[in-house]
Structure 1
Amino acid sequence: FRSLIKQTWQPAARTVSPYFDRPDYINALATSIEKAYETAELRPEVLVCSYHGVPKRYLMQGDPYHCQCQKTTRLLKERLGWDDTEIVTTFQSKFGPEEWLQPYTVEEVARMAEKGQKNIAVCAPAFSADCIETLEEINEEIKESFEHAGGEHFTYIPCLNDSKEHIETLSNVISENLQGWI
C-alpha cells in the first residue's frame, strides 16, 4: 500500500480477509486431528494448539491476532465436541527481549508434564504448511521440553499441508474472493 501511494495510476487491488473462523477451515483442522487421534498409540489427554507468537504490545495496540487464535481454538473445541480440559492455546517462536503472547508453548508443555499430563498432542493451526517452525521447533524443541519434564507420549499433528479438506477450503476462499473479477 505504501508503494501504491506513490503511483499516479492506482490498479485495482484486493486483500483476502483472514479465514481463521471459516466453518470449512475449522472442519479441515478437526478432520486432521480426528485422523491423528485415530492412529495415535494412546489417545492424547490434551491437544495443544500452538500458534506463532507475536509481541504482546501488538495485542495492546489493538491487533486482533490473539483473539483470532483464541476463537479458532474455541471453534475447534466445539466442532470436536470436547470440553475445556482437552484443548489449550499456546504461542511459540518467541525471540528478542520483549514480552510475547503467552503462554509460551515450550514452557506450557513442560508445566503440563510436571503436573502429570504424560500424553499430549500438538498442532499448529496458524501454519497452513509444515516448515522449520513446525517440524523442528514443535516436533523437536517443544517435544524435548515435554519429555525432559517427564512427558511420555508426544504426538505431533502435521499442518493441513495438501490435505483434501485444506485444498477445498483454499479453493473456496479463492473462488469467493475472485467473484466479480472473473
Structure 2
Amino acid sequence: MTSANLEQDQPGSGRLAHAPTDHPAVPRKKVGVLLANLGTPDATDYWSMRRYLSEFLSDRRVVDYAAWKWQPLLQLIILSRRPFKSGEAYRSIWNTEQNESPLLTITREQTRKVSAGLKERLGDQVVVDFCMRYGNPSTDSVLRRMQAEGCERILFFPLYPQYASPTTATANDQAFRTLMKLKWQPAVRTVPAYFEQPAYIEALANSVREAYAATESRPDVLVASYHGVPKRYLLEGDPYHCQCQKTTRLLKERLGWKDDEIVTAFQSKFGPEEWVGPATVEHVAELARQGKKHIAVVSPAFSSDCVETLEEIEQEIRSSFIEAGGETFTYIPCLNARDDHIAALLSVIENELGGWI
C-alpha cells in the first residue's frame, strides 16, 4: 500500500481510494480528546485495594525511593495492612448504587458533558473519552481504543489544574508508555496546567460564593487545601507549590477578599520526610484554638471529589477542627460536573485544539 492510498481515503466509507478489495476497512480520521484522572480501585475488598495501592505506590513519580529499598517495605509491610484501612475509607464514600467510587462516577459525567459541549460547538469532528492513571479504565486500553476508532490526533488532558510531578507528569508518562508500544502512533498533545485560566478561577469563586450564601453564619476563614508533596520536590524544581499559592491568590482577588480571609494548606502527607505545609489536618485545629469557630474548606487541586476530599476532608479534617473547639465546618465540593467548570474545561480544550480543527 502506497502513501497515496492512505491520503486518498473516502470520508465515512471505511474504504481507501485505490486500495485492494480485500483491504481492511479503515475508520474515518478523527481528533480525540482524552480526559485523564488519578484512578480508582475496582472494589473495596482487600485484594482490589492491594492491587490499586500497589500500582499507585510503585509509581516512581509518587514515591521515588530506590526500588531495592522501597519495594520490600511496600510489598511485605505496607500492603499487608494499608488495604484494610484504605478499603474502610473507600467504603465510607462508595457509590453503592452504581458500585463504583465517586471519582469514577464524576469523571464519567464530566466526560459526557464535555463531549456534548464539543459536539454542539464542533459537530462530530471530536471523540471524547476518559481514562485513569491507576485502575480502570486504563490509559493504555482507552488510547488503543481511540486509535482503533480512527483518532489520528489525540489531545491528552490530565484533570489537574496545577502541574505536579506525581499527578500531571505521571499521567503523561503513562500515555507515552502506550505510544512507545504502538506501531502507528497518533499525534498527541498534552494540556498544560490551567489554574490561571480566568474561567477556572471564576468557577472556583462561584462555588465559594454559593457555599457561603448557604451558611447560617459566614465562615471566619476559608482554607484552600491542596494535596501535598514532599518539600524536596519544590527544591528540585517542581512548580506545584508555587502554582497552589498563586491559585489561592487569584481566588482571593476574584472574590475581593482580604488576606486573612483565606489561607493555603496541604493534606495527605505520606512517609517520614518533610512535606510542604502547613498540614491541613493540623492547621484547622490551630485555627480553632485561635478562636476561628467557623471555617470552610475548598480543594482547588482536585477537579473531582474523591477519597481525599469526601473522606479525608469531610471526616478526618472535620474531626480535627471540631475536637480542637471548632463549631461549624463547611466543606465546599470540588467543581465536579458544574456547568461553569465544564465551560472552563471546554475553553481550555478548544484553545489546545488550535490548528487541529
TM-score, normalising length from structure 2?
0.49
Question: Does residue 137 in structure 1 map to residue 312 in structure 2?
Answer: yes
Paired residue for 2:259?
84
SS in 2 for 1:21: coil
Question: Does residue 47 in structure 1 map to residue 215 in structure 2?
Answer: no
Unaligned 5+ runs, structure 1:
none
Determine the C-alpha separation between the residues in 1 that align with 2:181 and 2:345: 32
CA shift for structure 1 position 6: 7.4
Determine the C-alpha separation between the residues in 2 that align with 1:177 and 1:87: 32
For residue 351 of structure 2, the aligned residue among 173, 176, 179 is: 176
CA shift for structure 1 position 97: 0.9
Partner deviation per Cα, 1:49-101 (whole Å, 9 max, x = no partner): 00000111100001000000000000000000001100000000111111111
Amino acid corresponding to residue 63 of structure 1 in structure 2: D
SS in 2 for 1:138: helix
Question: Does residue 110 in structure 1 map to residue 260 in structure 2?
Answer: no
Identity of aligned residues (%): 66
Amino acid corresponding to residue 13 of structure 1 in structure 2: V
How do residues 7-156 of structure 1 correspond to structure 2 at under 5 angstroms? 11-156=186-331
CA shift for structure 1 position 178: 1.2
CA shift for structure 1 position 155: 0.5
Determine the C-alpha separation between the residues in 1 that align with 2:327 and 2:355: 53
CA shift for structure 1 position 176: 1.1
Amino acid corresponding to residue 130 of structure 1 in structure 2: D
Higher relative contact order, chain-length normalized (CA < 8 Å, sep 6+)? 1
**Aligned CA-pair RMSD:** 1.5
Unaligned 5+ runs, structure 2:
1-172
Determine the C-alpha separation between the residues in 1 that align with 2:182 and 2:338: 40
Determine the C-alpha separation between the residues in 2 that align with 1:178 and 1:167: 16
TM-score, normalising length from structure 1?
0.95
- Worse-superposed segment, 13-22 or 66-75: 13-22
Amino acid corresponding to residue 244 of structure 2 in structure 1: C
Determine the C-alpha separation between the residues in 2 that align with 1:52 and 1:20: 15
- Worse-superposed segment, 90-99 or 1-10: 1-10
CA shift for structure 1 position 177: 1.1
CA shift for structure 1 position 41: 1.7
Give the paired residue count.
182
Partner deviation per Cα, 1:113-134 (whole Å, 9 max, x = no partner): 0111000000000001111110
Larger Rg: 2
